A and B are shown apart, each in its own frame.
Chain A
Protein backbone atom coordinates (compact mmCIF):
# COMPACT_ATOMS: atom_id res chain seq x y z
CA UNK A 1 0.00 0.00 0.00
CA UNK A 2 1.50 3.36 -0.90
CA UNK A 3 1.25 6.56 1.08
CA UNK A 4 -1.79 7.82 -0.83
CA UNK A 5 -3.90 4.80 0.05
CA UNK A 6 -2.69 4.95 3.64
CA UNK A 7 -3.72 8.53 4.08
CA UNK A 8 -7.10 7.91 2.46
CA UNK A 9 -7.77 5.10 4.91
CA UNK A 10 -6.66 7.28 7.83
CA UNK A 11 -9.12 9.97 6.81
CA UNK A 12 -11.97 7.48 6.48
CA UNK A 13 -11.29 6.01 9.91
CA UNK A 14 -10.98 9.43 11.51
CA UNK A 15 -14.26 10.54 9.94
CA UNK A 16 -16.02 7.42 11.14
CA UNK A 17 -14.76 7.83 14.67
CA UNK A 18 -15.93 11.42 14.69
CA UNK A 19 -19.43 10.66 13.53
CA UNK A 20 -19.67 7.79 16.05
CA UNK A 21 -19.04 10.24 18.83
CA UNK A 22 -21.73 12.55 17.51
CA UNK A 23 -24.24 9.73 17.10
CA UNK A 24 -24.08 8.48 20.68
CA UNK A 25 -24.29 11.94 22.12
CA UNK A 26 -27.69 12.57 20.50
CA UNK A 27 -31.00 11.48 21.93
CA UNK A 28 -32.74 8.35 20.58
CA UNK A 29 -33.74 8.15 17.77
CA UNK A 30 -31.15 10.19 15.91
CA UNK A 31 -30.91 8.09 12.75
CA UNK A 32 -32.83 5.62 10.57
CA UNK A 33 -34.37 2.59 12.24
CA UNK A 34 -34.23 -0.78 10.48
CA UNK A 35 -37.43 -2.81 10.69
CA UNK A 36 -36.75 -6.45 9.80
CA UNK A 37 -39.47 -8.62 8.33
CA UNK A 38 -38.54 -12.31 8.44
CA UNK A 39 -40.63 -13.23 5.40
CA UNK A 40 -40.56 -12.57 1.66
CA UNK A 41 -41.73 -9.27 0.30
CA UNK A 42 -45.31 -9.95 -0.66
CA UNK A 43 -45.91 -12.35 2.23
CA UNK A 44 -48.89 -11.95 4.54
CA UNK A 45 -46.73 -9.97 6.96
CA UNK A 46 -45.54 -7.38 4.47
CA UNK A 47 -48.51 -4.98 4.32
CA UNK A 48 -48.91 -4.83 8.10
CA UNK A 49 -45.18 -4.24 8.55
CA UNK A 50 -45.12 -1.38 6.10
CA UNK A 51 -48.22 0.18 7.61
CA UNK A 52 -46.70 -0.03 11.09
CA UNK A 53 -43.34 1.31 9.89
CA UNK A 54 -44.88 4.29 8.10
CA UNK A 55 -46.88 5.27 11.18
CA UNK A 56 -43.89 4.78 13.48
CA UNK A 57 -41.91 7.09 11.21
CA UNK A 58 -44.36 9.89 11.83
CA UNK A 59 -44.20 9.53 15.60
CA UNK A 60 -40.44 9.05 15.99
CA UNK A 61 -39.62 11.50 13.15
CA UNK A 62 -36.91 9.30 11.59
CA UNK A 63 -37.01 6.91 8.64
CA UNK A 64 -38.08 3.37 9.48
CA UNK A 65 -36.73 1.16 6.68
CA UNK A 66 -38.40 -2.18 6.12
CA UNK A 67 -35.92 -4.98 5.29
CA UNK A 68 -36.93 -8.52 4.33
CA UNK A 69 -34.83 -11.38 5.74
CA UNK A 70 -36.83 -14.50 4.77
CA UNK A 71 -36.10 -18.15 5.47
CA UNK A 72 -36.41 -20.90 8.05
CA UNK A 73 -40.09 -20.22 8.88
CA UNK A 74 -39.20 -16.77 10.13
CA UNK A 75 -36.38 -17.91 12.43
CA UNK A 76 -33.55 -16.50 10.30
CA UNK A 77 -34.81 -12.93 10.42
CA UNK A 78 -35.69 -13.22 14.12
CA UNK A 79 -32.17 -14.53 14.75
CA UNK A 80 -30.78 -11.39 13.13
CA UNK A 81 -32.92 -9.22 15.39
CA UNK A 82 -31.93 -11.16 18.52
CA UNK A 83 -28.23 -10.90 17.71
CA UNK A 84 -28.30 -7.21 16.76
CA UNK A 85 -26.99 -4.41 18.97
CA UNK A 86 -29.68 -3.44 21.54
CA UNK A 87 -29.60 0.24 20.64
CA UNK A 88 -33.17 0.50 19.39
CA UNK A 89 -32.10 0.92 15.77
CA UNK A 90 -32.85 -2.68 14.81
CA UNK A 91 -36.31 -3.97 15.61
CA UNK A 92 -38.61 -6.15 13.61
CA UNK A 93 -41.75 -8.13 13.14
CA UNK A 94 -42.13 -11.71 14.24
CA UNK A 95 -44.99 -14.15 14.35
CA UNK A 96 -45.99 -16.52 17.10
CA UNK A 97 -44.79 -19.56 15.11
CA UNK A 98 -41.21 -18.32 14.97
CA UNK A 99 -41.31 -16.95 18.53
CA UNK A 100 -42.94 -19.78 20.44
CA UNK A 101 -43.24 -22.88 18.26
CA UNK A 102 -39.89 -23.08 16.42
CA UNK A 103 -37.77 -23.11 19.64
CA UNK A 104 -39.64 -26.28 20.68
CA UNK A 105 -38.61 -28.24 17.60
CA UNK A 106 -35.37 -26.51 16.58
CA UNK A 107 -32.41 -26.48 18.95
CA UNK A 108 -30.07 -24.37 16.83
CA UNK A 109 -31.82 -21.03 17.31
CA UNK A 110 -30.41 -17.87 18.86
CA UNK A 111 -33.33 -17.68 21.30
CA UNK A 112 -35.53 -20.00 23.36
CA UNK A 113 -37.89 -17.99 25.58
CA UNK A 114 -39.17 -14.41 25.61
CA UNK A 115 -36.28 -13.64 28.02
CA UNK A 116 -33.89 -13.92 25.07
CA UNK A 117 -35.48 -11.03 23.18
CA UNK A 118 -37.51 -7.94 24.00
CA UNK A 119 -41.21 -8.01 23.04
CA UNK A 120 -42.19 -4.43 22.17
CA UNK A 121 -45.83 -4.58 21.16
CA UNK A 122 -48.45 -7.00 19.85
CA UNK A 123 -49.72 -5.94 16.44
CA UNK A 124 -52.59 -8.17 15.45
CA UNK A 125 -53.94 -11.67 15.09
CA UNK A 126 -55.19 -13.60 12.10
CA UNK A 127 -57.65 -16.41 12.73
CA UNK A 128 -57.74 -19.59 10.63
CA UNK A 129 -60.75 -20.16 8.39
CA UNK A 130 -61.98 -23.56 7.15
CA UNK A 131 -63.37 -23.48 3.60
CA UNK A 132 -64.91 -26.05 1.24
CA UNK A 133 -66.03 -25.96 -2.36
CA UNK A 134 -69.26 -24.02 -2.83
CA UNK A 135 -71.10 -27.16 -4.06
CA UNK A 136 -69.82 -29.40 -1.24
CA UNK A 137 -72.34 -31.70 0.43
CA UNK A 138 -71.82 -30.15 3.89
CA UNK A 139 -73.97 -27.09 4.27
CA UNK A 140 -72.50 -26.12 7.63
CA UNK A 141 -69.77 -27.02 10.07
CA UNK A 142 -71.94 -29.44 12.07
CA UNK A 143 -72.54 -31.62 9.01
CA UNK A 144 -68.84 -31.53 8.19
CA UNK A 145 -67.96 -32.51 11.76
CA UNK A 146 -70.53 -35.31 11.82
CA UNK A 147 -69.01 -36.87 8.72
CA UNK A 148 -65.49 -36.41 10.12
CA UNK A 149 -66.51 -38.24 13.31
CA UNK A 150 -68.08 -41.06 11.30
CA UNK A 151 -64.96 -41.49 9.13
CA UNK A 152 -61.92 -40.86 11.30
CA UNK A 153 -58.74 -40.38 9.28
CA UNK A 154 -60.61 -39.89 6.00
CA UNK A 155 -61.54 -36.21 5.88
CA UNK A 156 -58.65 -34.26 4.42
CA UNK A 157 -57.93 -30.60 5.10
CA UNK A 158 -55.25 -28.85 3.05
CA UNK A 159 -52.78 -26.67 4.94
CA UNK A 160 -49.72 -24.74 3.78
CA UNK A 161 -47.19 -27.14 5.33
CA UNK A 162 -47.26 -29.33 8.42
CA UNK A 163 -46.75 -27.60 11.78
CA UNK A 164 -47.83 -24.25 10.38
CA UNK A 165 -50.60 -22.27 12.07
CA UNK A 166 -53.47 -23.87 10.07
CA UNK A 167 -52.15 -27.39 10.75
CA UNK A 168 -51.70 -26.69 14.46
CA UNK A 169 -55.23 -25.39 14.95
CA UNK A 170 -56.68 -28.44 13.19
CA UNK A 171 -54.57 -30.67 15.46
CA UNK A 172 -55.79 -28.65 18.44
CA UNK A 173 -59.34 -29.23 17.29
CA UNK A 174 -58.64 -32.94 16.88
CA UNK A 175 -57.31 -33.00 20.43
CA UNK A 176 -60.22 -31.26 22.13
CA UNK A 177 -63.01 -32.84 20.04
CA UNK A 178 -61.65 -36.37 19.75
CA UNK A 179 -61.94 -36.39 15.95
CA UNK A 180 -59.24 -37.41 13.51
CA UNK A 181 -59.23 -34.95 10.63
CA UNK A 182 -56.18 -35.46 8.40
CA UNK A 183 -54.10 -32.49 7.33
CA UNK A 184 -52.49 -32.55 3.89
CA UNK A 185 -49.53 -30.23 3.33
CA UNK A 186 -49.45 -28.06 0.20
CA UNK A 187 -46.23 -26.21 0.73
CA UNK A 188 -46.11 -24.28 -2.54
CA UNK A 189 -48.02 -21.33 -1.14
CA UNK A 190 -51.70 -20.98 -0.30
CA UNK A 191 -52.73 -21.27 -3.93
CA UNK A 192 -52.02 -24.98 -4.26
CA UNK A 193 -54.37 -25.99 -1.48
CA UNK A 194 -57.03 -23.74 -3.00
CA UNK A 195 -56.80 -25.41 -6.41
CA UNK A 196 -56.83 -28.82 -4.71
CA UNK A 197 -60.15 -27.90 -3.07
CA UNK A 198 -61.52 -26.34 -6.25
CA UNK A 199 -60.44 -29.45 -8.18
CA UNK A 200 -62.11 -31.74 -5.64
CA UNK A 201 -58.90 -33.54 -4.64
CA UNK A 202 -59.36 -32.80 -0.94
CA UNK A 203 -62.44 -32.09 1.12
CA UNK A 204 -61.48 -28.74 2.66
CA UNK A 205 -58.67 -26.35 3.39
CA UNK A 206 -57.68 -24.18 6.29
CA UNK A 207 -55.70 -20.94 6.12
CA UNK A 208 -55.77 -17.37 7.21
CA UNK A 209 -58.90 -15.83 5.78
CA UNK A 210 -57.29 -13.20 3.56
CA UNK A 211 -56.15 -15.69 0.90
CA UNK A 212 -59.63 -17.06 0.25
CA UNK A 213 -61.80 -14.04 0.81
CA UNK A 214 -62.00 -13.34 -2.94
CA UNK A 215 -63.20 -16.86 -3.66
CA UNK A 216 -65.72 -16.90 -0.83
CA UNK A 217 -67.18 -13.60 -2.01
CA UNK A 218 -67.30 -14.89 -5.59
CA UNK A 219 -69.21 -17.94 -4.42
CA UNK A 220 -66.68 -20.54 -5.59
CA UNK A 221 -65.65 -21.46 -2.05
CA UNK A 222 -67.70 -21.49 1.15
CA UNK A 223 -66.40 -20.68 4.61
CA UNK A 224 -67.68 -23.34 7.04
CA UNK A 225 -65.89 -22.41 10.21
CA UNK A 226 -63.52 -19.96 11.76
CA UNK A 227 -61.30 -20.85 14.71
CA UNK A 228 -62.18 -17.89 16.93
CA UNK A 229 -64.43 -17.10 19.84
CA UNK A 230 -67.32 -15.11 18.45
CA UNK A 231 -68.13 -14.11 14.89
CA UNK A 232 -65.35 -13.17 12.52
CA UNK A 233 -66.53 -10.14 10.62
CA UNK A 234 -65.15 -10.81 7.11
CA UNK A 235 -66.81 -14.27 7.13
CA UNK A 236 -70.19 -13.70 8.78
CA UNK A 237 -71.55 -17.14 7.77
CA UNK A 238 -68.67 -19.17 9.23
CA UNK A 239 -69.35 -21.02 12.49
CA UNK A 240 -67.11 -19.73 15.29
CA UNK A 241 -65.52 -22.96 16.54
CA UNK A 242 -64.08 -21.26 19.62
CA UNK A 243 -67.60 -20.90 21.07
CA UNK A 244 -67.94 -24.65 21.58
CA UNK A 245 -64.37 -26.02 21.48
CA UNK A 246 -61.10 -24.70 22.86
CA UNK A 247 -59.44 -24.53 19.43
CA UNK A 248 -58.55 -20.95 18.59
CA UNK A 249 -54.85 -21.04 17.71
CA UNK A 250 -54.15 -18.64 14.89
CA UNK A 251 -51.36 -16.42 13.66
CA UNK A 252 -50.31 -13.57 15.90
CA UNK A 253 -47.83 -10.85 15.03
CA UNK A 254 -45.53 -8.96 17.36
CA UNK A 255 -42.82 -6.34 17.16
CA UNK A 256 -39.66 -7.45 18.95
CA UNK A 257 -36.12 -6.20 19.51
CA UNK A 258 -32.91 -7.59 21.02
CA UNK A 259 -32.78 -7.90 24.80
CA UNK A 260 -30.86 -5.38 26.87
CA UNK A 261 -32.14 -2.18 25.30
CA UNK A 262 -31.46 0.88 27.53
CA UNK A 263 -34.64 1.76 29.50
CA UNK A 264 -35.06 5.21 27.94
CA UNK A 265 -34.79 3.74 24.41
CA UNK A 266 -37.17 0.89 25.21
CA UNK A 267 -39.70 3.25 26.75
CA UNK A 268 -39.62 5.57 23.80
CA UNK A 269 -39.95 2.89 21.12
CA UNK A 270 -42.57 0.80 22.95
CA UNK A 271 -44.79 3.75 23.82
CA UNK A 272 -44.56 4.96 20.21
CA UNK A 273 -45.39 1.45 18.98
CA UNK A 274 -48.36 1.19 21.31
CA UNK A 275 -49.56 4.58 20.10
CA UNK A 276 -49.44 3.25 16.54
CA UNK A 277 -51.39 0.05 17.16
CA UNK A 278 -54.07 1.89 19.09
CA UNK A 279 -54.49 4.60 16.43
CA UNK A 280 -57.62 4.96 14.29
CA UNK A 281 -55.55 4.65 11.14
CA UNK A 282 -54.04 1.32 12.19
CA UNK A 283 -57.39 -0.11 13.30
CA UNK A 284 -58.90 0.85 9.96
CA UNK A 285 -55.99 -0.81 8.18
CA UNK A 286 -56.35 -4.08 10.12
CA UNK A 287 -60.04 -4.15 9.32
CA UNK A 288 -59.65 -3.82 5.54
CA UNK A 289 -56.82 -6.37 5.51
CA UNK A 290 -58.67 -9.05 7.46
CA UNK A 291 -56.48 -8.86 10.55
CA UNK A 292 -57.92 -8.73 14.04
CA UNK A 293 -56.44 -5.85 16.00
CA UNK A 294 -55.17 -6.90 19.42
CA UNK A 295 -53.05 -4.06 20.85
CA UNK A 296 -50.92 -5.21 23.79
CA UNK A 297 -47.97 -3.45 25.43
CA UNK A 298 -44.63 -5.13 25.93
CA UNK A 299 -45.49 -6.79 29.28
CA UNK A 300 -48.83 -8.14 28.01
CA UNK A 301 -47.22 -9.24 24.76
CA UNK A 302 -44.64 -11.25 26.68
CA UNK A 303 -47.34 -12.95 28.76
CA UNK A 304 -49.23 -13.66 25.55
CA UNK A 305 -46.21 -15.34 23.95
CA UNK A 306 -45.66 -17.48 27.07
CA UNK A 307 -49.31 -18.53 26.97
CA UNK A 308 -48.98 -19.62 23.33
CA UNK A 309 -45.81 -21.46 24.22
CA UNK A 310 -47.62 -23.51 26.87
CA UNK A 311 -50.40 -24.44 24.44
CA UNK A 312 -47.85 -25.55 21.86
CA UNK A 313 -46.02 -27.78 24.37
CA UNK A 314 -49.26 -29.62 25.20
CA UNK A 315 -50.22 -29.84 21.56
CA UNK A 316 -46.83 -31.28 20.56
CA UNK A 317 -47.24 -34.03 23.17
CA UNK A 318 -50.63 -34.87 21.65
CA UNK A 319 -49.28 -34.94 18.07
CA UNK A 320 -46.33 -37.14 19.03
CA UNK A 321 -48.52 -39.64 20.85
CA UNK A 322 -50.34 -40.54 17.66
Chain B
Protein backbone atom coordinates (compact mmCIF):
# COMPACT_ATOMS: atom_id res chain seq x y z
CA UNK B 1 0.00 0.00 0.00
CA UNK B 2 1.99 3.00 -1.22
CA UNK B 3 1.45 6.00 1.02
CA UNK B 4 3.66 9.04 0.93
CA UNK B 5 4.24 11.28 3.89
CA UNK B 6 4.79 14.92 4.61
CA UNK B 7 6.15 16.36 7.82
CA UNK B 8 3.18 17.96 9.56
CA UNK B 9 5.40 20.59 11.13
CA UNK B 10 6.53 21.90 7.74
CA UNK B 11 2.97 21.90 6.45
CA UNK B 12 1.78 23.95 9.41
CA UNK B 13 4.62 26.43 9.05
CA UNK B 14 3.94 26.75 5.33
CA UNK B 15 0.22 27.24 5.93
CA UNK B 16 0.87 29.91 8.55
CA UNK B 17 3.33 31.59 6.19
CA UNK B 18 0.78 31.67 3.37
CA UNK B 19 -1.72 33.05 5.89
CA UNK B 20 0.60 35.89 6.90
CA UNK B 21 1.25 36.83 3.28
CA UNK B 22 -2.49 36.69 2.54
CA UNK B 23 -3.28 38.81 5.56
CA UNK B 24 -0.64 41.38 4.61
CA UNK B 25 -2.02 41.75 1.06
CA UNK B 26 -5.57 41.83 2.39
CA UNK B 27 -4.73 44.51 4.96
CA UNK B 28 -2.94 46.54 2.30
CA UNK B 29 -6.05 46.49 0.13
CA UNK B 30 -8.32 47.20 3.10
CA UNK B 31 -6.44 50.37 3.95
CA UNK B 32 -7.27 51.76 0.51
CA UNK B 33 -11.00 51.40 1.16
CA UNK B 34 -12.98 54.36 2.51
CA UNK B 35 -12.99 54.27 6.31
CA UNK B 36 -15.83 56.72 6.82
CA UNK B 37 -16.55 58.42 10.15
CA UNK B 38 -17.78 57.02 13.44
CA UNK B 39 -21.37 57.94 12.63
CA UNK B 40 -20.95 56.71 9.05
CA UNK B 41 -18.50 53.80 9.20
CA UNK B 42 -17.23 53.01 5.72
CA UNK B 43 -16.64 49.73 3.95
CA UNK B 44 -12.99 49.63 5.05
CA UNK B 45 -13.52 49.32 8.81
CA UNK B 46 -14.46 45.67 9.11
CA UNK B 47 -11.84 44.31 6.67
CA UNK B 48 -9.11 45.82 8.86
CA UNK B 49 -10.46 43.93 11.87
CA UNK B 50 -10.60 40.77 9.75
CA UNK B 51 -7.07 41.33 8.45
CA UNK B 52 -5.74 41.60 11.99
CA UNK B 53 -7.67 38.46 12.96
CA UNK B 54 -6.21 36.56 10.01
CA UNK B 55 -2.69 37.72 10.93
CA UNK B 56 -3.19 36.50 14.50
CA UNK B 57 -4.63 33.19 13.33
CA UNK B 58 -1.67 32.69 10.99
CA UNK B 59 0.81 33.48 13.75
CA UNK B 60 -0.94 30.98 16.03
CA UNK B 61 -0.65 28.40 13.25
CA UNK B 62 3.07 29.07 12.90
CA UNK B 63 3.50 28.91 16.68
CA UNK B 64 1.68 25.58 16.89
CA UNK B 65 3.66 24.26 13.94
CA UNK B 66 6.88 25.26 15.66
CA UNK B 67 5.90 23.22 18.72
CA UNK B 68 4.95 20.12 16.74
CA UNK B 69 6.97 16.96 16.95
CA UNK B 70 9.08 16.49 13.82
CA UNK B 71 7.97 12.88 13.63
CA UNK B 72 4.30 13.73 13.07
CA UNK B 73 3.45 12.93 9.47
CA UNK B 74 0.58 13.59 7.09
CA UNK B 75 -0.33 10.78 4.71
CA UNK B 76 0.00 11.97 1.13
CA UNK B 77 -1.13 10.11 -1.96
CA UNK B 78 1.52 8.69 -4.28
CA UNK B 79 1.55 6.44 -7.34
CA UNK B 80 -1.83 5.47 -8.73
CA UNK B 81 -3.68 7.22 -5.89
CA UNK B 82 -2.04 10.51 -6.79
CA UNK B 83 -2.69 9.94 -10.50
CA UNK B 84 -6.40 9.34 -9.83
CA UNK B 85 -6.66 12.42 -7.65
CA UNK B 86 -4.90 14.63 -10.19
CA UNK B 87 -7.05 13.05 -12.88
CA UNK B 88 -10.20 14.08 -10.99
CA UNK B 89 -8.96 17.65 -10.53
CA UNK B 90 -7.93 17.92 -14.18
CA UNK B 91 -11.29 16.53 -15.31
CA UNK B 92 -13.13 18.99 -13.06
CA UNK B 93 -11.17 21.92 -14.47
CA UNK B 94 -11.87 20.63 -17.97
CA UNK B 95 -15.58 20.17 -17.19
CA UNK B 96 -16.02 23.64 -15.75
CA UNK B 97 -13.98 25.42 -18.41
CA UNK B 98 -15.79 23.55 -21.18
CA UNK B 99 -19.28 24.07 -19.71
CA UNK B 100 -19.86 27.67 -20.87
CA UNK B 101 -18.32 26.86 -24.27
CA UNK B 102 -19.77 23.54 -25.36
CA UNK B 103 -22.73 23.61 -22.97
CA UNK B 104 -23.75 21.58 -19.97
CA UNK B 105 -25.02 18.47 -21.76
CA UNK B 106 -21.85 17.68 -23.68
CA UNK B 107 -19.43 18.65 -20.92
CA UNK B 108 -21.22 16.71 -18.18
CA UNK B 109 -21.49 13.61 -20.35
CA UNK B 110 -17.80 13.72 -21.23
CA UNK B 111 -16.90 14.32 -17.58
CA UNK B 112 -18.95 11.33 -16.41
CA UNK B 113 -17.54 9.05 -19.06
CA UNK B 114 -13.93 9.93 -18.34
CA UNK B 115 -14.27 9.92 -14.54
CA UNK B 116 -16.03 6.58 -14.61
CA UNK B 117 -13.25 5.22 -16.77
CA UNK B 118 -10.62 6.44 -14.31
CA UNK B 119 -12.45 4.92 -11.35
CA UNK B 120 -13.27 1.51 -12.78
CA UNK B 121 -12.06 -1.22 -15.08
CA UNK B 122 -15.34 -1.30 -16.96
CA UNK B 123 -15.29 -1.58 -20.74
CA UNK B 124 -15.96 1.51 -22.85
CA UNK B 125 -19.46 0.46 -23.97
CA UNK B 126 -20.59 -0.07 -20.39
CA UNK B 127 -19.01 3.18 -19.22
CA UNK B 128 -20.80 4.97 -22.07
CA UNK B 129 -24.11 3.32 -21.29
CA UNK B 130 -23.97 4.10 -17.56
CA UNK B 131 -22.77 7.69 -18.03
CA UNK B 132 -25.25 8.61 -20.70
CA UNK B 133 -28.14 7.11 -18.74
CA UNK B 134 -27.07 9.04 -15.65
CA UNK B 135 -26.63 12.33 -17.48
CA UNK B 136 -29.93 11.92 -19.27
CA UNK B 137 -31.69 11.35 -15.94
CA UNK B 138 -30.07 14.41 -14.34
CA UNK B 139 -30.83 16.51 -17.41
CA UNK B 140 -34.43 15.39 -17.41
CA UNK B 141 -34.91 16.14 -13.72
CA UNK B 142 -33.16 19.49 -13.44
CA UNK B 143 -33.03 21.11 -16.84
CA UNK B 144 -36.24 19.84 -18.43
CA UNK B 145 -38.45 19.54 -15.37
CA UNK B 146 -37.15 22.08 -12.83
CA UNK B 147 -35.92 24.49 -15.52
CA UNK B 148 -32.48 25.14 -14.08
CA UNK B 149 -30.99 27.17 -16.93
CA UNK B 150 -27.67 25.34 -17.24
CA UNK B 151 -25.33 26.95 -19.80
CA UNK B 152 -25.99 25.89 -23.36
CA UNK B 153 -22.77 27.29 -24.84
CA UNK B 154 -22.59 26.94 -28.61
CA UNK B 155 -25.95 25.16 -28.60
CA UNK B 156 -27.63 28.42 -27.63
CA UNK B 157 -29.48 28.63 -30.93
CA UNK B 158 -31.10 25.27 -30.24
CA UNK B 159 -34.30 24.72 -28.29
Is there direct touching of A and B in the complex, by C-beta distance under 8 Å?
yes
A positions within 8 Å CB-CB of B: 2, 4-5, 12, 16, 19-20, 23-24, 31-32, 34, 65, 67, 85, 89
In the complex, the answer to whether A4 meets B106 with C-beta atoms within 8 Å is no
Does B32 have its Cβ within 8 Å of any Cβ on chain A?
no
A89 / chain B contacts, CB cutoff of 8 Å:
156
Besides A19-B157, A19-B158, A20-B158, 4 other CB < 8 A contacts?
Answer: A16-B154, A16-B158, A32-B159, A85-B156
In the complex, the answer to whether A67 meets B157 with C-beta atoms within 8 Å is no
The docked-state distance in angstroms from the alpha carbon of A5 to that of B131 is 13
Which of B124, B149, B155 sits near A16, CB closer than 8 Å?
Answer: B155
Interface string of B139-159 (1 = CB under 8 A from A): 000000001010000111111
A-B contact count (CB 8 A): 28
Does B128 have its Cβ within 8 Å of any Cβ on chain A?
yes
Chain A: minimal CB distance from B143 (Å) = 12
In the complex, the answer to whether B159 meets A4 with C-beta atoms within 8 Å is no
In the complex, the answer to whether B124 meets A67 with C-beta atoms within 8 Å is no
In the complex, the answer to whether B106 meets A12 with C-beta atoms within 8 Å is yes
Which of A2, A19, A65 sits near B149, CB closer than 8 Å?
Answer: A65
In the complex, the answer to whether B157 meets A2 with C-beta atoms within 8 Å is no
Q: A4-B124, A4-B128 are in contact. Are A34 and B149 (CB under 8 A)?
A: yes
Which of A5, A23, A85 sits near B158, CB closer than 8 Å?
Answer: A23
Task: Name the residue of chain A whose CB is nearest to the CB of B149.
Answer: A67
The docked-state distance in angstroms from the alpha carbon of A89 to that of B106 is 22
Task: Name the residue of chain B whose CB is nearest to the CB of A68.
Answer: B149
B113 / chain A contacts, CB cutoff of 8 Å:
5
The docked-state distance in angstroms from the alpha carbon of A16 to that of B128 is 21
The docked-state distance in angstroms from the alpha carbon of A5 to that of B129 is 12
Which of A5, A12, A23 sits near B157, CB closer than 8 Å?
Answer: A23
Chain A: minimal CB distance from B123 (Å) = 11
Task: Name the residue of chain A whose CB is nearest to the CB of B125.
Answer: A4
Chain A: minimal CB distance from B95 (Å) = 16
A4 / chain B contacts, CB cutoff of 8 Å:
124-125, 128
In the assembled complex, 16 residue pairs joining A and B whose CB atoms fall closer than 8 Å, in A order, are A4-B125, A5-B124, A5-B128, A12-B106, A16-B154, A16-B158, A19-B157, A19-B158, A20-B157, A23-B157, A23-B158, A31-B157, A31-B158, A32-B159, A65-B147, A67-B149
B128 / chain A contacts, CB cutoff of 8 Å:
4-5
The docked-state distance in angstroms from the alpha carbon of A31 to that of B113 is 31
A16 / chain B contacts, CB cutoff of 8 Å:
154-155, 158
The docked-state distance in angstroms from the alpha carbon of A65 to that of B152 is 15
B106 / chain A contacts, CB cutoff of 8 Å:
12
The docked-state distance in angstroms from the alpha carbon of A286 to that of B108 is 42
In the complex, the answer to whether B124 meets A2 with C-beta atoms within 8 Å is yes
Chain B: minimal CB distance from A4 (Å) = 7
Chain A: minimal CB distance from B127 (Å) = 10
B125 / chain A contacts, CB cutoff of 8 Å:
4
A5 / chain B contacts, CB cutoff of 8 Å:
113, 124, 128
Task: Name the residue of chain B whose CB is nearest to the CB of A8.
Answer: B128
A34 / chain B contacts, CB cutoff of 8 Å:
149
The docked-state distance in angstroms from the alpha carbon of A30 to that of B125 is 37
Chain A: minimal CB distance from B156 (Å) = 7
The docked-state distance in angstroms from the alpha carbon of A309 to that of B104 is 39
The docked-state distance in angstroms from the alpha carbon of A31 to that of B124 is 36
A85 / chain B contacts, CB cutoff of 8 Å:
156
A65 / chain B contacts, CB cutoff of 8 Å:
147, 149
Task: Name the residue of chain B whose CB is nearest to the CB of A24.
Answer: B157
The docked-state distance in angstroms from the alpha carbon of A31 to that of B156 is 11
The docked-state distance in angstroms from the alpha carbon of A67 to that of B156 is 15
A23 / chain B contacts, CB cutoff of 8 Å:
157-158
The docked-state distance in angstroms from the alpha carbon of A23 to that of B113 is 31
Task: Name the residue of chain A whose CB is nearest to the CB of B40.
Answer: A162
